[in-house]
Structure formats: structure tokens, C-alpha cells
Amino acid sequence: MNPDTKGLIRLEEKIGHTFKDRHLLIAALTHKSFTNENPGLERENNERLEFIGDAVLSMVISNHLYKKYPELNEGALSKVRANLVNESSLATIAMKMGLGKYLFLGKGEEGTGGRDKGSLLSDALEAVIAGIYLDSGIRHVTQVILNHFRDLIEMVVSQKHPFDFKTTFQELCQEHFGILPDYKLTQTSGPDHNRLFVMDLSVKGKVLGVGSGRSKKEAQQQAARQALEEFKKKFKKPVSSYTRSRKNKTMRGTLENKPKP
């Protein structure tokens, strides 16, 4: 069921921006399948906004990386940026916002799990970014983008195996817990040619990450990335600096002492 346009205040709170022109937000959330099925509404879909949002996001991320990480050369900067502005990363952030709940979709997209599709979510997030830029300018949209991307940026720059979250987490898991993480396929949706897989990552029965993707491998990578973010929150330091310490033992004890379900 499509959302009520009057009920978008909660989404604005999650985004961190209250639109002066609410029509920009509504357009950003409107997929072309909805406008095709509802021509009488004369509503713009999010494709044109997506075009602007892609450019704004790339510029903001590039500027931030250039200023904050002077030790990275052009090649490294390009690789980090590519990992941050791809469909998978954008879809993950959109899921954290709960963006899928607020999309306006046609019946066909609704019936094939469109609210969980990475392509639709990433496009909508880019459109929302464009909407914020048009609504309030580059300074404010920069603040909103970095609020949502900052942790991911730091993790991608600092991890031991750049862009391979699964290997990085596997090594941490072996070091701190002495076992390998478990991955479990929890959901499959969409037609055969456009499947969406959802994977849970757990350690000793405790789910530490959930990821989605167009392949099981991609979903595992995203689950591992979320688990790495949880490590960072627990220890308050970059993934690359993890060493054996009392804090590590505390984390181990938290998992070992947790009752099994």
C-alpha cells in the first residue's frame, strides 16, 4: 500500500531535513511505475531528481575524502568513493532510513517486492539528496549526507582488506571468538531475473548483521559490513586498529554469556 503524503514527517526526522517544499520529497519517493499507473495525478517521478542527486552525492563525498584523507592518492580516493556511492551502499543506508516504506509504487513493483529492491532504494535516496539540495542548498545537503555516510566512510578507509567486508570480519571473528561467523539466507524475493537475497550473519547464535543484495555473495558482504559497524560502535575505534585487549574480552564475554535461543 502506498503511503499517505501527509504522513511523511517521520521520514523527514529520519533523514534529518524538513522540506520547505514538500513536493520535492514526494517526487523523490515516486517511482515511474506509480506515475505510469496514475497519469491523472500529473506527478513527477524521481528519475530527473536522481540525475541531480548522483552528481551532488559524488561531489560531497569526493570533497570530504579529499580534505579528510590527504594521505590517500588519486587511485585510493577513487576506489573509496566508488565503494561508497554504489547501489549496494546507497540501498543499505536507505534501508536504515526505512525509505522503502515511503515509496510510491505501481501495483507491479509492489507485487514483486519493490520496497526491498536495492535499485529502487538507491535511486530514491539519490533523488531525496537532490531534493534536499534544491530545497536548502549545498551546505545543508552536505551535512545530511555526511551524517548518514560518516561511519561507513571511516570503516571503508580503515579496514584491513579494503572493500572485502566478509574477509575482514572473518579474521576479526577468528581472532576474538575463535570461530567463523554463520551466514543464513532468510529471505528471497523478486522474479528469477531480478532476485533479492537477504542474509543474516550471526556469531554464537547472536545476529550481528543483516544484508541484502542481488546475489548471496553481495548479501553476505553487506551483512559483514553491518557487523563491522557494530564492532566499531562497541570498541569506539577503527576496524583496522582492533587488537586483543580487555575490551575485546568484554565483547567475547557478552556473546559467550548470552543465553541461547
Quick: pLDDT tens for 239-249: 444 433 333 44
The pLDDT of residue 26: 96
- Looking at residue 241, what is its pLDDT? 44
User: What separation in angstroms does the CA of 48 have from each of 13, 53, 132, 248, 253?
Assistant: 24, 9, 14, 48, 51
The dotted CATH code for 165-256 is 3.30.160.20
CA distances from 198 to 29, 92, 158, 189 (A): 23, 12, 26, 9
Residues labelled catalytic: 54, 126
Q: What confidence tens digit (pLDDT) does each residue in 160-216 have? A: 555 678 888 888 888 888 899 999 999 888 888 778 889 999 998 899 888 888 889
Give the pLDDT of residue 122: 94
Cell (9 digits) for 159: 579496514
pLDDT at residue 1, as a whole number: 62
The CATH 1.10.1520.10 portion of the chain extends over: 5-158
Q: Which amino acid is at 136?
A: S
Query: Please, are residues 94 and 172 in contact by the beta-carbon 8 Å criterion?
Result: no
Annotate 80-93 with DSSP letters as a single string: HHHHHSSHHHHHHH
Report the alpha-carbon distance of residue 111 to residue 153 in Å, rounded.
34
CATH tag for 5-158 (out of 3.40.50.2020, 1.10.1520.10, 3.40.50.10490, 2.40.50.100): 1.10.1520.10
Question: Which regions of the chain carry the CATH code 3.30.160.20?
Answer: 165-256
Separation of alpha carbons 242 and 224, rounded Å: 16
Would you state the pLDDT for residue 90?
A: 92
Sign of CA dihedral 58, 59, 60, 63: positive
Question: Per DSSP, what are the bridge partners of residue 202?
Answer: 182, 207
Quote the DSSP letter at residue 259: P
Tell if the pTM clears 0.75, that is, is over it: no
Give the separation between CA 177 and CA 130, rounded to whole angstroms: 43
> What H or E segment, with its residue span, contains residue 207?
strand 206-213
Q: Residue 54 is placed in which grid cell?
A: 548522483
User: Partners of 211 in the beta sheet?
Assistant: 199
- Quick one: pLDDT at residue 242? 40
**Mean pLDDT of each 10-residue bin along the chain, 261 residues long:** 78 96 96 93 94 97 95 87 88 91 93 88 97 97 96 79 76 86 91 85 90 87 86 59 38 46 45
Query: Which value, in Å, is the radius of gyration of the alpha carbons in the chain?
Result: 20
The residues near 133 (Cβ < 8 Å, ≥ 6 apart) are 52, 53, 56, 141
